[in-house]
Amino acid sequence: MKIVLFLLSAFTMTALLSCSQSEPADLVIINGKVFTLDKDHPMEEAIAVRGELIVALGTTVEISRMIRDGHTKVIDAGGRLVMPGFNDAHVHFGPLDPDYIELRYTTDPTVITEKVRARVAKSKPGELIKGGHWEHEMFNDKKWPSKELLDAVSPDNPVVLSRADGHSLLVNSYVLKASGINKDSPDPFGGEIQKDPVTGEPTGILKENAEALVITGEKKAERTAAEETERTWQGYLLALSEAAEYGVTSVQLPGSGDFEAYEKLQKEGLLTCRVDMGKELTADTILLHEYLQISKKYPREGNWIRFGYLKAFIDGTIGSGTALMFEPFTDNPKTSGLAMMPYDVFEKMVVAADIEGFQIGVHSIGDKGNNWTLNAYEKALKVNGKRDSRHRDEHTQTLQLSDIPRFAELGVIASMQPTHCISDKKFCEKRIGTERARGAYAWKSLADAGASLAFGTDYQVEPLNPMEGLYAAVTRKDRLGEAGNGWFPEQKITMENAIRYYTEGSAYSQFMEDRKGIIKKGYLADIVITDKDLLTIPEEEIMKTKVDYTITGGKVVYASGR
C-alpha cells in the first residue's frame, strides 16, 4: 500500500511539474551563462519567467518548450553572462536636476569658475546655482577651494557646490552674507566654518553641521506649479532611466524619500526598480509611532515600495577630515574629527527605535564612529533582548581590528560602497597613517570573520554604475589602472563574492533574501545580461562592461539595442 501511495505521489508531482512546464512563459532567456548565485545550482543555461516570477531554470532545450509564438518574449543571450539584478544597498536616489553643475573628476579648480559663469549667464539675478561632486584631493594643487573661485562670476547669485562626499560645501560671499556667517561666527556643534588662518574670514567652506547654517536668499525661478511638478517628474524618469541602464533593479535609500511619488510612478507603469525608503532616527515616541503607521502601509512583505530603516549620522568623512577617530588625524593633529551628537543621546535613540522593532542604519566612517555604532547596537541588544534586527553600519570605512569580529557577533550588516576605497585611497594614508589604514575598507576581513556584507554605491557621492564597485572590490586600484596588486591587496575579494554582496547580500540587508538576490525558481525575476563575462575577463575590462538587458519583475526595462 505504501509503495502504491509513493508511486501515486511521485506521479502527481511529475504531472504537476509537467503541467507547469507546458504552460507558456511570458519571457525566456536561452543560451546564457546563468550565474544564479544559488549554491545548489550555481550555473544554468536558460530561464523561464511568468508574471514577475522565475518559474523554471534548465537547458535551452528544456526551457524552449515553454515558448509560445505570439505570447513569449525570447531573449537569446548568445553565451553572455546572465545574473541577478544589482541591488544598491545605499543610494541617494531621487529626481535629477537638469541644471545641476557636475564637477566630478575635476582636476583644475578654474573649471569650477567657468562652469559657474556659464550657469549664471543662463540664470536670473538671485536664482540659486547648485552643483557638486568636486574633490579637492583631485585638484592639481590638492588645496581646498575658496569663495574667490566664485565671487567674481556670481556677484548677484547664491552658489552652493557640494563636495563629493556631501559633507562639505563651497559657497560664495553672497551666501555667506545671506546666512550671516562672518569672522565672528562660532562653529556649531558637530560642524566647522573654515576660516582663513591670516584674516580670520570665512573661506566659503562649511563642513558637516555648519551646512545647516546656509540661507541662500534665493529668488525662485519663475515657473508655474505645473511646470515645477513636470520638472520633478522628468527628474524621476531620468534617475530611473540611469538605474535601468546600469542594471540596477533595486535601490535602498538611506533615510527619507517620497513614497507618494514612487506610488504614482508605479500606478502609471513607470517604476522600473524596487525602492526602500525610511526615516531619520529619533527617540521621539510620537515620531516613532508615525513611522510605524507608514511602515504598515509599506510593509516588508511588499516587493516594490517598502519602508526601510531609520538613518542616523554619527560622524563625517575622511576626505573632509571630519570622521570620528580615536586618535588625531595624521595630517591635522589638532582634530580627531567630529561627532554629530553626544554618545549618550545617540545610544538613547538606538535603544528607543530598536524596542519598537525598527531596523537602524548609521553612517559610520571613523574607527571611533564605527565603535560607537557597534556599542549602541550592543546596548540595545542587552536592554531590549535579542531579535533578528539586522541593524546596519553604513559605510564601515575605518575599523579598529578588534571591532571586526563584533559585526558577526552582533548580527550587524556591513553596508559598504567599494568605490569609496579607490576614491579615498589617494589621501587615506595621509589622513590617518598606514597602521590605521589597515582597517580601512576591510571587506575581506569582515567576510572572513563571518559578517554579512551588502554593497552599494552611495550615489550621487559616487557614480551609480555597479561596474566601478565590482572593479574596486576585486582590484583596489584607481580607475585609471596601476601597476602592482592594489592598495592593501589582502582585502581584495573574488568577482563571484563581489557580485554576491551586490545582489544576495543586499537582499539580506532588507529582509528579502527569501525572494530576491539569486536566480531561483519562485524568486522575483530581476535579471541583468552583460556584454562581457565578468567572471573571466581581465580586470582592465571590468569598468568597460555594459549591461545589454535589465529585467525587473519579468519586464525588460532596458535593452542596449546592440
Q: Are 137 and 426 in contact (CB under 8 A)?
A: yes
pLDDT above 50: residue 4: no
Assess whether the previous peptide bond of 460 is cis (omega < 30° from 0). Answer: yes
What is the value of pTM for the model shown? 0.86
Are 548 and 559 spatial neighbours (Cβ–Cβ below 8 Å)? yes
How does pLDDT run across 290-326, given as a tens digit for each residue? 999 999 999 999 999 999 999 999 999 999 899 999 9
- The pLDDT value recorded for residue 14 is 43
d(CA 550, CA 246): 8
Average pLDDT over the chain reads: 94
* 111, HSE (Cβ side, Cα atoms, 13 Å): 17
Q: Place 105 in a pLDDT band, splitting at 50, 70 and 90.
A: confident
Cβ count within 10 A of residue 82: 26
Residue 206 has pLDDT above 90, yes or no: yes
- pLDDT of 9 above 50: no
| pLDDT for the residue numbered 97 | 87
**What residue type is 498 in one-letter code?**
A
- Among 164, 85, 26, which Cα is nearest to 547's? 85
Range 445-466 average pLDDT: 96
pLDDT-derived band at 6 (thresholds 50, 70, 90) equals very low
Encode pLDDT of 318-338 as tens digits: 998 999 999 999 999 999 999
CA 32 to chain CA mean position, Å: 28
Mean pLDDT of 123-144: 92
Backbone phi, psi, residue 238, to 5°: -65, -45
* Crossing angle for the helix pair 225-245 and 259-267, to the nearest 10 degrees: 70
pLDDT of residue 16: 38
Whole-number pLDDT of residue 21: 58
236-265: pLDDT as tens digits? 999 999 999 999 999 999 988 999 999 999
Of 186, 270, 194, 209, nearest to 235 (Cα)? 270
Overall average pLDDT of the 82-109 stretch: 93
Closest-CA residue to 396 (of 387, 386, 406): 406
Length of the chain: 562
Other CB atoms within a 10 A radius of the CB of residue 72 amount to 17
What's the confidence (pLDDT) of residue 17? 42
pLDDT at 13 over 50: no
CATH number for 2-79 (one of 3.30.230.70, 1.10.3720.10, 3.40.50.150, 2.30.40.10): it is: 2.30.40.10
Cβ 246 vs Cβ 548: under 8 Å: no
pLDDT in the model for residue 405: 98
Question: How much of the chain is in helix, strand and coil states, percent to nearest 5?
Answer: 35, 20, 45
Name the pLDDT band for 1 (thresholds 50, 70, 90). Answer: very low
* DSSP three-state, residue 489: helix
Extended beta strands in 196-273, E state: 202-208, 248-252
- Backbone φ, ψ for residue 12 (5° rounding): -60, -45
Q: What is the edge-to-edge ordering of all strands in the sheet holding 129-134? A: 101-102, 129-134, 159-163, 168-171, 202-208, 191-195
Whether the CB-CB separation of 359 and 288 falls below 8 Å is answered with: no
Res. 220 pLDDT band, cuts 50 70 90: confident
Residue 164 binned pLDDT confidence (cut-offs 50, 70, 90): confident
Residue 492: all three cell numbers together:
581584495
At residue 453, the 3 state secondary structure works out as strand
Largest CA distance in the chain: 97
User: What is the three-class DSSP state of 189?
Assistant: coil
pLDDT at 117 over 60: yes
Best CATH choice for the domain 101-213 from the list 3.10.310.70, 3.30.930.10, 3.40.630.30, 3.20.20.80: 3.10.310.70
Q: How far apart are CA 15 and CA 5, in angstroms?
A: 15
Q: Where are the domains of the chain?
A: 2-79, 101-213
Residue whose C-alpha is closest to residue 257's, from 211, 311, 210, 214: 311
d(CA 325, CA 35): 41
The whole-number pLDDT of residue 5 equals 38
Identify the pLDDT of residue 20. Answer: 52
- Residues 429 and 421: their CA atoms lie apart, in Å, by 12
Q: What is the pLDDT of residue 219?
A: 79
Give one word for 52, left, alpha or beta, with left for phi > 0 and alpha for psi -120 to 50: alpha
